[in-house]
Structure 1
C-alpha cells in the first residue's frame, strides 16, 4: 500500500509581555489536568465558543488579505492557534482590556471567562484523545524567574490550556531566546521551525506560545509517477511552472454559483479534511466567504468523478499581528494602560508583540506497494470525466470534524 503524506501544517502564535523587572517565582507547569466537570460538547457555551472561533477566522483573514504588505502574496495562518493564545491571555485580563479581547474574539454575552476556558479545555482534550505521533496541540509559557504571576492565572493555564511552564532569565537575552527556540524546534514542530524568536528585550517577563502541529495523510493516495510540470496562472500576465499532482477519482465537490467558486473536499486522516476553493475572482470569494458558506458547502457536496490536478507547494509565512488586532478593537493590551492584573498586580504590564508563524507543505511521499488509485478502469473510456485543475489562485481550509477551522489561507503563487 502506498502511504501518501500531505498537508504538513505548523502554526505558532506568541504573545510577549513586557514589564519592569519583578521579583521571584515560577512553578513548573507540565501537568495537564482535566476536571470531571468539563463542559459537554453539546452544551450551548461550547457551541458558542466554537462559532466565535470560526467567525474570528474569517474576520482575521480579511484583515490580513486587505493589508498592503499581503497584496499578491500567499496567506497561511492558523486562526485556532491565534484565538487559543488570546483566550489564554484573557484569563489574566480585566476591565476594558478583557472586554476588548472578548469582543474582538467574538466571545460576547452570555459567555463568561470560565465558559471560554472550559471550551478550550474540551477542544484541546479532544485533540489529545485523538492524538497520534504526527499531531500535537497546546500552549507553553516561559516566565522570568524574578517575576511573580498570580497562582490562579497559572493554574487556569495548566488546567484549561494544557500549558507547559518554564523558568528563564530574560535578562540573558541570547540564552533565553535559545531556550525558547529549542523547545519550539524539538517539542512543538518536529524540527520544522528553528528560529521562532530572534530578538528579545531584556525587560520581557513572559513569553506565551500557542502551537499546533499536524502531519496528515491523504485518505486516497496520489501516485508520484503522475506528477508533472504545468503552468500556474498567477495573474493575467504571469505564469510560473509548478509540479502538479494528479489523481482521477470520485471527489465531493460543490459549485457556489453566487460566489462563482468550485469547492473540493480532500479527506485527511483523524477526521481532518482539506477544502480547496477555486474562484473565478479571488476578491469576490475573499470578501464574502464565512462560516455559513463553509457549512452550506459541506452539506451540499455530492460525489463526482474528476481528473484532478493540484500543485505541490511549500510555503512559510510570518506576521506581526499588533496592528491587525488593534484594528479589530483589541488595542488596550498593547499600551501602558493595559489591565492585566489577573496575571500580576504590578503596574505597566502590557503585551509588546503578537507574532504568528505558519508553514504548509503539500506533496506526496512514500513507497509504492500497490497502485490502487482507480486510474485503470476501462469504464472510464466511456464515461465523461471532467478535468479540475487548480492552476490559478485558490483558497485553502483545513478543518476538523466538519466544524472546526484550524487552517486558513490562499495560494497566489505556489513557487514563493
Structure 2
C-alpha cells in the first residue's frame, strides 16, 4: 500500500472520529484537502513541531528522504485529482497568509509553489486586519465558484495574527445513474430510536456494487459518478446497530479491504437515499491538538524556522470549510480479512433512512476526497 495514501486515509478516519464525537451531529470534511494544506506548513517546521505534525498527519511511514517523498507524493496526488478534462469539477484552494513584517524565506515560497501550487501571500494583519480578512474571503469565494463566501468570520483576524492557513474545497459531480426527480418523496428518517424527521428520499432501481461486512453488520453501497473517476461509498449499519460502533471499528486498512471493487458484487437493488446539503466550518486547532500537534499553535514553542527567519512565528489559525449537496443529478460539494466480507441473501434494497457514513473517493488513487456522517436532516 502506498505509504502516503495510508497516511492520508488514517488521518481521514481520525478526523471523522474526532469531529464526530457528538454522535447527533452531521460531519463533513475533506481530509485530502486538510492534509495537503498542513503538509505545506510541515515543510517549514523543525524539531518537536515537525515531529508532532508528522504524528498528527500519520506521516511517520513516509518520512524517508528527509520528507521529500511526502511532498513529491502530495504533488502527484494533487496533480491527479485536480487534473483538467474530467467529467467532474473539483477545486481546492490552499494558501498561507503571513504578516508582512515576517521575513518569509524564498526557499519556502518556492517549495509551496512547486509541490502544492500554492502561493504564500503577505498581508498587513497588524495595521489592517479587517481588510486582510475580506481579501482572504474574496479569494476563497473565487476559488470555490462562490460556494464558500465567508470562510473567516468577523473578528477572526486581528493585529496579533501572524500566520494563517486557509483551505477550502469545492466538488460537483453527476451520478453515472441519475435518480429520477418524479420518484423522490417524503419519508421518515430515524435520527434516533425515538426520533424521526422527514426527508426528501430519492429512489433508484438499478445495478450497483454492494457488499455486506458481517464484522460490523453493515451494508456498503458504491455509487459511481459519471466517468468512474470518483465514487460515493455509503456505509449503512443494520437497524439494530449504532453508527458509533462502526466508527470505532473502522481503520484505513479495513476500509480499503471492505471497499475493494473485486470483493463487491453487482446486484440489482432498490436504493433509497435522502437528498441532503451539508456545510461545515471548522477551526481545526482543537482537533489537531487532540492528534498531538500542540506546539505549532504556541508562540514560544513553535519552530517554523523553515518558513521565516523571524523567531516567534506560530500558527494562529487553521480554518477548514467544506460544502456538499447530494441530489437526484449528483453531488455538489465544496473536503478485515476476506472471510469477513460476503454477501448475505439480502432483500435487494438499500434504504438509508437512518444515520450513515459517506466517503467520496478518487478511484485511481483511492484518496478520500470527502468523508462525513449524515445523522440528522
Alpha-carbon distance in structure 1 between the residues aligned to 2:122 and 2:296: 23
Match of 1:354 in 2: 318
TM-score of the pair, normalised by structure 1: 0.80
Q: Judging changes above 3 Å, is the alpha-carbon distance between structure 1 residues 128 and 277 closer, same or farther for their aligned structure 2 residues? A: closer
- Map of 2:216 onto structure 1: 259
Give the aligned partner of residue 238 of structure 1: 195
Q: Could you tell me which residue of structure 2 aligns to residue 364 of structure 1?
A: 328
Q: Name the structure 1 match of 2:230.
A: 272
| Structure 1 residue runs without a partner (length 5+) | 1-43, 367-383
Runs of 4+ in 1 over 6 A off after TM superposition: none
2:162/2:315 contact within 8 Å kept: no
Distance 1:161 1:211 in 2: 14
Query: What's the counterpart of residue 327 of structure 1?
Result: 290
Q: Following the alignment from structure 2 to structure 1, what is the Cα–Cα distance between the partners of residues 71 and 266?
A: 39
Tell me whether 1:91 sits opposite 2:43 in the alignment: yes
Match in the other structure for 1:127? 81
Kindly state the Cα deviation for residue 254 of structure 1 after the two structures are TM-superposed.
Answer: 0.4
The aligned counterpart of 1:218 is 175
User: Cα gap change, 1:184/1:387 in structure 2, threshold over 3 Å: closer, same or farther?
Assistant: same
The alignment's TM-score, normalised by the length of structure 2, stands at: 0.87
Identify the residue that residue 271 of structure 2 maps to in structure 1.
Answer: 308
Q: Do the aligned residues in 2 keep the contact of 1:307 with 1:385 (CA within 8 Å)?
A: no
Larger displacement relative to structure 2 (121-130 or 335-344): 121-130
Matched, 1:287 2:245: no
Residues 64 and 194 from structure 1, CA distance in 2 versus in 1: closer, same or farther, beyond 3 angstroms? same
Return the offset for 1:365. 4.7
Aligned partners of 1:136, 1:405: CA distance in 2, in Å?
Answer: 15
Q: CA deviation at 1:164?
A: 3.0
Measure the CA separation in 1 of the matches of 2:283 and 2:101: 28
Q: Which of residues 110, 113, 119 is equivalent to 1:155?
A: 110
Q: CA deviation at 1:105?
A: 1.2
CA contact (8 A) 1:138 1:161 kept: no
1:204-224 C-alpha deviation (Å, 9 max, x unpaired): 233322333210010111110
Q: Report matched runs for 1:66-85 at 5 Å.
A: 66=21, 70-85=22-37
1:169-209 Cα shifts (integer Å, max 9, x gaps): 222122111111111111x2111111101221112233322
Instruction: Say whether the 8 Å CA contact 1:75–1:409 is kept in structure 2.
Output: yes
Q: Paired residue for 1:13?
A: none
CA distance in 2, matches of 1:92, 1:265: 39
Q: 1:128 to 1:319 in 2, by over 3 A?
A: closer
Aligned equivalents of 2:223, 2:329: Cα separation in 1: 17
